[in-house]
Chain A
Amino acid sequence: MKWDAWKLNITIFCTIVGVLISLQIKNVSGDDLYIPLKEIHDYRLSIEAERKEIANLKEIIEVRKNSIKEYEKAIEEGGILEELMLEELKEKKIIAGFTDLEGPGIILILDDGTRELEEGEDPNNVLVHDMDILRLVNDLKIAGAEAISINGQRLLSHSEINCAGHTIRINNQFFAQPFVIKAIGNPKVLEAALVAPGSYGELLKQYGIYIKVDTSMNVQVPRYPEEIDFQYLKAHEEGD
């Protein structure tokens, strides 16, 4: 084989083209993606959460099957179905908030601070605001409060806590200081959520707002007094 200029050129440049092509193939196929450790961790967490949810759903199926069995049994025996229904209605009323409740919990009293203001200090620092109550209520919920009332108003899923001048509007009614928040739940956990160092309640105390937490073995939370009138809601029927 004679090596003339043509052969030499073609070989060299075909090699270059080949290198480029293989680089491109390697690049496009994208085997080596950059994935940070955090992302892997996140994926693992979400997979775990999904698995837990599947287990939960299976449990729910089990429970439903059991209740169907109960109903069937009741039908066979006759008459007890009504009792069962009434019992369930009672349960649902407790969940929905149409029953007076009692149980161990805490009573939180919140009032404006009485300390002297410093020169040029914003008086808002020692006033109780709607945001403060929202934060505290949320802290209580995080700590596992099962029922909460503010000044005798039961807090439900749609209850608003809104600023209304020097008063606060809750469930469309206006309340002034002091605010008495009652919550049913594990008293120690609830108290800790409000007075622990670093909690929002502790911060309010540092600002000079009057905040007092009492645990009690028998806290009474009243029911939601009015009818709830839904305008947009409609029950979604399964299998539609």
Chain B
Amino acid sequence: MIIAMIGLILGILLGWYLPITYPSSYSLYMSVAILAALDSVFGAIRSHMEKKFNSTIFITGFFGNAILAGFLAYIGDRLGVPLYYAAIFTFGGRLFQNFALIRRYIIEKMREK
């Protein structure tokens, strides 16, 4: 959990000073992809607490979900259907679920001590 925070902060600082930009028309796809990636990270933390973590599943999930979410948003834009809602609801819902589980595990751990 702590190491995730450290990584996140490190990444934000790194990204802030990197001179990388992309067209603002892609920002919607990017935001959905970020949501998917964030969900993967939370999933990884949860699976670690359940002692079921598998790095292959994590890495493929991380990239697969992000790419699929961005692609879905793009297809939705082409078709005129806001398909990115699907990604937002799925990943947003799972994010909270994962967070709830992580919280529960941490509280249990603290009680054991």
Residues of A whose CB lies within 8 Å of any CB of B are: 5-7, 9-24, 26-28, 30, 32
Q: List the A residue with the shortest CB-CB distance to B30.
A: A24
* Minimal beta-carbon separation of B37 from chain A (angstroms): 5
The answer to whether residues A19 and B11 also contact, given A7-B3, A10-B3, A26-B16 and a CB cut-off of 8 A, is yes
Q: List the A residue with the shortest CB-CB distance to B48.
A: A6
Complex alpha-carbon distance, A13 and B40, angstroms = 9
Q: List the A residue with the shortest CB-CB distance to B44.
A: A10
Partner of A13, one of B15, B33, B62: B62
Enumerate chain B residues within 8 angstroms of A21, measured Cβ to Cβ.
8, 11-12, 15, 34
Enumerate chain A residues within 8 angstroms of B15, measured Cβ to Cβ.
18-23, 26
Complex alpha-carbon distance, A227 and B99, angstroms = 84
Query: Main secondary structure on chain A at its contact with chain B?
Result: helix
Enumerate chain B residues within 8 angstroms of A16, measured Cβ to Cβ.
11, 37
- 10 closest cross-chain pairs (CB), A and B: A18-B11, A14-B7, A22-B15, A19-B15, A15-B11, A18-B12, A11-B7, A22-B12, A18-B8, A19-B11
Say whether B30 contacts A19, CB under 8 Å: no
Enumerate chain B residues within 8 angstroms of A12, measured Cβ to Cβ.
7
Number of interface residues of B (CB under 8 A): 36
Q: Does B38 contact A (CB under 8 A)?
A: yes
* Minimal beta-carbon separation of B61 from chain A (angstroms): 10
* Minimal beta-carbon separation of B79 from chain A (angstroms): 24
Q: List the A residue with the shortest CB-CB distance to B62.
A: A13
Complex alpha-carbon distance, A11 and B6, angstroms = 8
* Minimal beta-carbon separation of B68 from chain A (angstroms): 15
A-B contact list, 21 entries, CB within 8 Å: A5-B53, A13-B7, A13-B41, A13-B58, A14-B3, A14-B10, A15-B8, A16-B11, A17-B8, A17-B11, A18-B10, A18-B14, A20-B30, A21-B8, A22-B11, A23-B21, A24-B31, A27-B21, A27-B22, A28-B24, A32-B21
